[in-house]
Amino acid sequence: MTVRIDVVTIFPDYLAPLGISLIGKAQRDGRIELQVHDLREFTHDRHRTVDDTPYGGGAGMVMKPEPWGEALESIARQAVARGLPKTPAARRPTLIIPGPGGERFDQTIARDLAQRDHLVFACGRYEGIDERVYESAAADFDVRILSLGDYVLNGGEVATLAMTEAIARLIPGVIGNAQSLVEESHEDGLLEYPVYTKPEHWRGFSVPEVLLSGDHGRIAAWRHEQRLQRTAARRPDLLPPTAAAGAPDLDITV
Ligand code: 6GU
């Protein structure tokens, strides 16, 4: 199966990294079919205007609805022309609008989106896209407003790069060693254990003895303990409240 990804932006060059590395290879292997669209191609005035002043006043500019309406309609039409989804789970195309006001993007959402067969990213700039675009697009797409975290970027392009990378590596066949997907941070709610390679001693620091023991049971137990400690220290929000508080008499096995 090929996953189709469309990106609409006023800065197509911003998405150039999608042609290299993992996503580039997935495209060459036919697992991902990616197309970047310039929003300005869907304007009709001489200046190719995509923004205007906000109704009600306020700072900044708002993206006009008409170019977005035409761009998304064109993508939805092409999707229909290619045929209906092969599996019921894949459903309608999913429209992702990255923005700081969205639901927080995480590994669970990435896993869900990796099951879809058509993703469309709409990269907004300025103060955002006219709200009616969201309402109108709901006729053709499952619409998701997604944020990377609690900070503000200048536009959706960098967020689209981050989300497509997180999603693409979960598409079957994109990563050669599927086991590496299982043993990583956020797959089971804990951060990853620390890793070491040769040499055994370096600048006065040594590899923990247990890793040299050959005792797979002890190694697994040590790694699990490291994951719990790390998660408690760096990301206590990922642990159940009692475990994060470090109550000594409670078992913090997750
Ligand atoms: Cl998805 N977009 C923008 N513009 N800023 C963000 C973000 C997204 N996530 C965090 N900050």
Residue 176 falls inside a structural domain: no
Q: For residue 164, how far is its CA from the centre of ligand 1 (angstroms)?
A: 14
Ligand 1 contacts CB of residue 93 (under 6 A)? no
Output the pTM of the full model: 0.91
138 and 191 housed in the same domain: no
d(CA 51, CA 10): 11
Domain count for the chain: 2
Among candidate residues 107, 139, 168, the one where a domain is terminated: 168
- Residue 247 pLDDT greater than 80, yes or no: no
138 and 34 housed in the same domain: yes
Residue 251 falls inside a structural domain: no
39 and 148 housed in the same domain: yes
How much of the chain exceeds pLDDT 70, in percent? 93
DSSP string, 30-84: TSEEEEEEEGGGG--STT---EEPPTT--SS-EE-HHHHHHHHHHHHHHHHHH--
Q: pLDDT: is 17 or 83 the higher one?
A: 17
Residue 158 and residue 152 in contact, taking contact as beta carbons nearer than 8 Å: no
Q: What is the pLDDT of residues 20-67, one digit of tens each?
A: 988 999 999 999 999 999 999 999 999 999 999 999 999 999 999 999
d(CA 134, CA 53): 19
- The parent domain of residue 108 ranges over 3-168
- CATH number assigned to the domain comprising residue 211: 1.10.1270.20
Of 3-7, 27-31, 175-179, 237-241, which gets the smallest average pLDDT? 175-179
Closest CA to 112 of 166, 183, 162: 166
210 and 122 housed in the same domain: no
114 and 26 housed in the same domain: yes
163 and 193 housed in the same domain: no
Residue 174 falls inside a structural domain: no
pLDDT value, residue 221? 98
Ligand 1 contacts CB of residue 219 (under 6 A)? no
Ligand 1 contacts CB of residue 159 (under 6 A)? yes
Q: For residue 243, how far is its CA from the centre of ligand 1 (angstroms)?
A: 31
d(CA 4, CA 116): 9
Q: What is the pLDDT of residues 57-108, one digit of tens each?
A: 999 999 999 999 999 999 999 999 988 666 665 579 999 999 999 999 999 9
Q: What is the pLDDT of residues 139-151, one digit of tens each?
A: 999 999 999 999 9
